[in-house]
Amino acid sequence: MNFFIDSHAHLNDPAFDADRDELLSRQLPQAGIVHSFEIGCAPNEWQPALDLCDKYPQLVHAVLGVHPEYAPQLTPEGLKQLAALLPDARNTAVGEIGLDYTCQAIASKDLQQNTFIQMLQLANQTQKPLVLHVRREGEDYASYEDTFQILKHNWKQQTNTQHPAVLHCFCARYEEAKRALDMGMLLGINGCFSYKKNEYIREAVKKAGADKIILETDCPYLSPQGKRGQRNDPSNIPLIASFVADYIGIPLPDLAEITTRNAKALYGLP
Ligand SMILES: [Zn+2]
C-alpha cells in the first residue's frame, strides 16, 4: 500500500458536517492518508482547526493564518490572538496567506498586501514555514509579481530548512514556478493538474520534477478529473497522485514516497 499526505485541506468546512468523523476515522486511513493539514485561514477557523488536531492527533495538523479574501475580518485583537496561537505545537505553518486578485471587491489590493505583510512578520517571529495562496485575474500575473516583491522585502526566509514555503494550488506557468523553486519553495499540486485545459500546469510540473512538489486536495473544492462536480476529500489524493505519476513518468510508489518526504520536510514532521 502507498502512503500519502494531504498537505492542504479544509475538513472543518460545513460540506463535511454529515460525515467528518467517518471520513477521518475510517476512509482516510483506508486510502493510505497518513497526515492531513487543516487550514484555518479566517479568525473563526483558528480554534476549530486546533480542536480537529486534538480529536485526531496523529492524522491532523493545523496551518493558521489569514487568507487574502478574509483580510477584512482581521482586527487588531485578532492579530494578537493569531500571534499567540502560531507557536502552538499543533500548528505547523502560517497559511494560507498571500494575494488573490480575483476577490478585490471583498478585499482591496492594499488591504490584501498589508495583511500579507503582517502575516510575514508573524512568520518571521515564529520561524514557521509559509503556505502561500496566489491567484491571478485571467492572464494577468501581477499577483505573482507582487507576491515575490513582498516576500523579497518582508520575509526572513528560514535557513534551517530545505523548503521554507509552498506555493499552494499551483496554477501558473513554469516562469512563476521557477521563481518559487529558486527560493526553495515547493509546488502544491491538486485536482487542477488533471483538468483537460491545464496542459501548461502539467508541463510546468514535469519540468520542476517530483522533488519539488507536494500533493493536496484543497477539499471540499477542486475534485480531480472524473470526479468534478462532486465534493472533494483527502481520499482522492491517490487519484491525483496517479495523474501526476503517469504524466511525469515515474512509478506511483516513488511519487508517494517523494511527496510524503517533501511534505514532512516542509511542515517539520519527523
Ligand atoms: Zn485552501
Q: Which of 245, 196, 199 is nearest to 225 (CA)?
A: 196
Alpha-carbon 62 to chain mean position: 11
CATH annotation of 4-267 = 3.20.20.140
- Ligand 1: centre distance to CA 35 (Å): 16
243: pLDDT confidence band, cut at 50, 70 and 90? very high
Question: Is residue 175's pLDDT more than 80?
Answer: yes
- Ligand 1: centre distance to CA 252 (Å): 25
- Ligand 1: centre distance to CA 9 (Å): 6
- Ligand 1: centre distance to CA 220 (Å): 9
Question: Is residue 158's pLDDT more than 90?
Answer: no
pLDDT, tens digit, for every residue of 216-239?
A: 999 999 999 999 999 999 999 999
Q: What is the predicted pLDDT for the residue at 160?
A: 77
- Ligand 1: centre distance to CA 38 (Å): 9
Mean pLDDT of the chain: 97
- Ligand 1: centre distance to CA 206 (Å): 23
- Ligand 1: centre distance to CA 96 (Å): 7
Q: What is the predicted pLDDT for the residue at 161?
A: 82
- Ligand 1: centre distance to CA 221 (Å): 8
| Residues bordering ligand 1, an ion, CB closer than 5 Å | 218
What are the backbone angles phi and psi of residue 97, rounded to the nearest 5°?
Answer: -130, 160
Helices 142-154 and 109-126 pack at an angle, to 10 degrees, of: 40
Q: Taking the C-alpha atoms of 220, 221, 227 and 229 in order, what is their torsion angle to the nearest 10 degrees?
A: 100
Return d(Cα 139, Cα 269) in angstroms, integer: 37
Q: Taking the C-alpha atoms of 6, 12, 14 and 20 in order, what is their torsion angle to the nearest 10 degrees?
A: 70
169: pLDDT confidence band, cut at 50, 70 and 90? very high
Average pLDDT estimate for 122-144: 95
2: pLDDT confidence band, cut at 50, 70 and 90? very high
Question: Is residue 133's pLDDT more than 90?
Answer: yes
Residues near 257 by beta carbon (within 8 Å), at least 6 away in sequence: none
159: pLDDT confidence band, cut at 50, 70 and 90? confident
Return d(Cα 137, Cα 151) in angstroms, integer: 20
pLDDT, tens digit, for every residue of 102-122?
A: 999 999 999 999 999 999 999
pLDDT, tens digit, for every residue of 34-52?
A: 999 999 999 999 999 999 9
Return d(Cα 42, Cα 49) in angstroms, integer: 10
Residues near 7 by beta carbon (within 8 Å), at least 6 away in sequence: 37, 166, 168, 188, 214, 215, 216, 263, 266, 267
- Ligand 1: centre distance to CA 222 (Å): 10
- Ligand 1: centre distance to CA 104 (Å): 18
Q: What is the predicted pLDDT for the residue at 162?
A: 85
- Ligand 1: centre distance to CA 22 (Å): 22
